[in-house]
Chains A and B, each alone.
Chain A
């Protein structure tokens, strides 16, 4: 397995390089270094000299990908792409174009993202599995039929609706929790209730349907029939045997998203004013801050690759039949 992990890590490098090149090209197709300078310097009284000086200060006065005037390896190394990218592979994100330390910002902002994403995932899982099990338990009854219809309706509604509706009902009408905001430590709990609740409810339709399929697949298998033949009650069959076996795909599905929880959710963070990483990237795109954009895309890619690797490893842990080679 060690060999497998090392190989996968080595595979990650060309992938990350590709993502980095793509981000670079897409960003600079839309924004030129001059645009970035003007964005940072403001709109009033900006002179060409000031723009040039800003570019020199921030290393954007070099050619983008190929430096014709340089010699030898300088043709590649004396470019914006090389000078801005090489540190990323060492997870040195450097400074944003507005002068802030990106690593420090990411460290600070990942906690609020996690504070929302982890409970949303956890409670979401519990709620989805509970409803899915109930639908299987009451299969072939009106409960399953209407539950399925409700799930489809819930899937069809935009997350934004859940957020605004949640803010209106829970925050404004019932006045039970703050409409938006965030705090540190345990004081954060009352701010987390509404975003977590909307996160769980908005994912309930699709989650329940997905887990229901997994359970239904299991419930018809031979070992379940055997369990029933042995006289076990339906609840015992479902909760002891079916649930345990259905957890394998659930677990692997969860593991893949675990690393990306750091990246936060754009809409939730924006509407609830959660100071997480989701809004960090969008703010950077709006501000044409290439340093942050490339760092966040790189981090996102690296975490996604890590998630896939962890999934593969988790297969071997939950299913003894699988071996990595």
Chain B
């Protein structure tokens, strides 16, 4: 430190010793500048010739630390509130719901996490009598999930658990004096832990309707969990009366503690997808001590809040939370232990994903999330080895990936040479072009409008869109379901026969003539209004924020122009766009959905009539209504996966392909790059608690980083010499002027 400080002084003194003070002699000054430039760099390196540009402390080089980034600070880290991917990337390593997804197996399979086993649902009728599993859905009044958690699991060390010798909590009633030296959670001298119990899971369920939490799934869960709606009313009433909201005093009928390690969740009716919710942080345990601790006004003032400092039982705990710079997860010393999976897909063994089978998790000691707002610095630091993995932004796509003659994706030679690997996977998401079914032109179930929608579906060439705007990172959607979701069908049977035909073993978009024929059938001869002869005008509502959108919007115009239809772009900001969708004032728009869980219900519910956006504020943004679809959906959603369910799904697909309320756009493909030293990386689109499985070969990383990051001094020397050479004539000129005589 002293060495660094003294060199700062050198910097300052070198700058201050500017030419102004050395008017009598320039040469020493220039030499000093050269020396300054070289000296300036020396202290930055920690006396090591390599890694001057290392953004991390030198002592971390040989440690198993994973470096990743975030561009936008997470809004919430409270598991009752968090609902976005960047938040889950953190809290899923900390909070442990009862269930999790198997890391390697596909299709996605639920396995126990803190639970002893995946619970088996018990159905009951109105009288409370247990019904057989295969009972008629109409008879099922309640579904019970009894979950048994493992004994001996302990929370991470945390001041909320710390007690005095007399058994009183040390930090639950902090005085202003005690708060004075506290700036972060790490400033508390004492921490403690306690065992995870069933009550913590029930407590968290109550938090979903706590008026202080604003859980996004509160309204949704009120419709399922028995008594949750009533609890919400009680809590709201207590709050309005100014009473304390000690959730321990309140109970909810549908979330019952059976004993220290068992709890029961009771749902209204049948909802098999609920088991997936049990693997989400919304249903992770929350110790009441933490909530009591964090609601102290003195801590809230200092931003020490539950939404910012999680308390969990997971493999990691948040040791540093500075969203302005970095967030650091470190190993939880109390982690209950878990072993690397012993089984996977057939290809996993050959891909080295089963090398660590049975080993104790986690492998990585620390995970450092660095603030990195822009793509370019992130990408360059990845290439220098300072980030272990990277996505591929549009700016760096050509540097990273090339397409072979057969259309296959592969890494560029440069990246291959550096041992960088590429992993691609189709996301369980869909982007679609929605037709507002309430619109008098494109909407409704009439044949005319349907033909128009089908014609547009053929004309808008999404393969071209993917090629131009996505660098090939996506596949054109054939229906509502992306690959990996039960019911998705490949091959000829799985294509949208209204838009594609099967030719030479692959789907081929139907010709434009077919689209024009459909348009003519719809009464839009040549895309023109038969009365006025003017082109038909349709309106595309979209969020457009920058110049990059212009090309995309022009492309859409051209697609519609193929049919002679004039597309008017109504670009707006996101707020207005959402408002238009909510009120049904959009005509055609682009929208998307990312799966919450790997079940077809989570896609088909987007077209379920009672979920219509305008009428009921649901997720059916196109306000599609089809009684037959609704009826089939109601049957399909509560069925177990099997032949009958598969058949129903195909029937549902056929209905929406025929009615075309959506122009099925595409399923994006994720491309991720990672260095050779980053092991056990397998994309898992459902599980977010993956960091515990991953491993870093630290020795390999350290040596490669050194090799890649040797500072170059010679260009600086050349620069100084050039400056010297340019200044010399001026200096000579000055000397001549100084010594010149007046006459």
Seen from chain A, the residues whose Cβ lies within 8 Å of a Cβ on chain B are 30-32, 35, 38, 40-42, 44-50, 53-54, 57, 98-101, 104-105, 108-109, 112, 123, 126, 130, 133-134, 137-138, 141-143, 164, 167-168, 171-183, 186-187, 189-191, 193, 233-236, 239, 243, 270-273, 275-276, 279, 283, 287-288
Contact = CB atoms under 8 A, between A and B. Distances in A.
Q: Nearest 8 pairs between A and B by C-beta? A: A275-B324, A235-B23, A178-B55, A180-B377, A35-B575, A190-B44, A47-B219, A181-B55
A178 B20 contact: no
Contact of B373 (A45, A54, A273): A273
Contacts of A44: 83, 216, 596, 619
B630 interface: no
Contacts of A243: 20
A178 B54 contact: yes
Contacts of A54: 214
B346 interface: no
B380 A179 contact: yes
5 contacts: A168-B380, A175-B52, A178-B54, A190-B44, A270-B373
A84 to B, nearest CB: 18
Given A44-B216, A175-B709, A273-B370, A130 B18 contact: yes
Contact of A30 (B16, B54, B325, B573): B573
Interface string B287-317: 0000000000000111101011000000000
A156 B43 CA distance: 34
B220 A45 contact: yes
A133 B20 CA distance: 8
B547 interface: no
B721 interface: no
A173 B712 contact: yes
Contacts of B377: 167, 171, 179-180, 271-273
B448 interface: no
Contacts of A35: 575, 578-579
Nearest to B75: A98
B376 interface: yes
A234 B738 contact: yes
A174 B380 contact: no
B15 interface: yes
Contacts of B220: 45, 47
A272 B381 CA distance: 12
Contacts of B1: 186
Given A40-B214, A236-B23, 18 more contacts: A44-B83, A98-B307, A100-B308, A130-B20, A138-B733, A143-B733, A167-B377, A174-B712, A174-B716, A175-B711, A175-B712, A181-B370, A182-B325, A183-B325, A233-B23, A271-B377, A275-B371, A279-B373
With most chain A CB atoms within 10 A of its CB, the pick from B21, B44, B307 is B44
A105 B325 CA distance: 12
B501 interface: no
A109 B197 CA distance: 40
Nearest to B727: A143
Contacts of A138: 730, 733-734
**Which range holds the interface residue count of chain B?**
35 or more
B376 A167 contact: yes
Interface in B457-501: none
Contacts of B8: 186, 189
B76 interface: yes
A167 B217 contact: no
A45 B18 contact: no
B715 interface: yes
Contacts of A171: 53, 377, 380
B165 interface: no
A173 to B, nearest CB: 7
Interface in B16-42: 16, 18-21, 23-24, 40-41
Contacts of B712: 173-176
B372 interface: yes
A179 B307 CA distance: 31
Contacts of A109: 324
B303 A104 contact: yes
A24 to B, nearest CB: 17
Contacts of B440: none
Contact of B575 (A31, A108, A190): A31
B376 A130 contact: no
A104 B214 contact: no
B710 interface: yes
B733 A186 contact: no
Contact of B44 (A38, A193, A233): A193
A179 B715 contact: no
Nearest to A171: B53
Contact of A273 (B216, B302, B372): B372
B322 A275 contact: yes
B550 to A, nearest CB: 20
Given A138-B730, A176-B53, A270 B374 contact: yes
Contacts of B738: 233-234
Contacts of B729: 142
Contacts of A190: 44, 52
B249 to A, nearest CB: 21
Contacts of A189: 4, 8, 43-44
Contacts of B370: 181, 273
Contacts of B128: none
B651 to A, nearest CB: 27
Contacts of B307: 98-99
Contact of B53 (A38, A49, A141, A178): A178
B602 to A, nearest CB: 11
A40 B75 contact: yes
A112 B371 CA distance: 14
Contacts of B596: 44
Contacts of B575: 30-32, 35, 288
Contacts of A101: 300-303
Contacts of B83: 42, 44
B303 A180 contact: no
A45 B381 CA distance: 38
A176 B711 contact: yes
A191 B428 CA distance: 39
Contacts of A176: 41, 44, 52-53, 711-712
Nearest to A96: B303
Contacts of A272: 377
Given A104-B303, A138-B733, A243-B20, A38 B578 contact: yes
A134 to B, nearest CB: 7
Nearest to B730: A143
A107 to B, nearest CB: 10
Contacts of A287: 75
With most chain A CB atoms within 10 A of its CB, the pick from B19, B619, B738 is B19
B84 interface: yes
Contacts of B211: 53, 57
A279 B205 CA distance: 36
A322 to B, nearest CB: 27
B218 interface: yes
With most chain B CB atoms within 10 A of its CB, the pick from A40, A112, A179, A183 is A179
A186 B20 CA distance: 30
A172 B53 CA distance: 9
Interface in B246-305: 300-303, 305
A21 B542 CA distance: 31
B65 to A, nearest CB: 15
B5 interface: yes
Contacts of A142: 729-730, 733
A208 B511 CA distance: 64
Contacts of A112: 324-325
A126 B16 contact: yes
A252 to B, nearest CB: 21
A123 B14 CA distance: 11
A314 B214 CA distance: 52
A271 B374 contact: yes
Nearest to A104: B303
A113 to B, nearest CB: 10
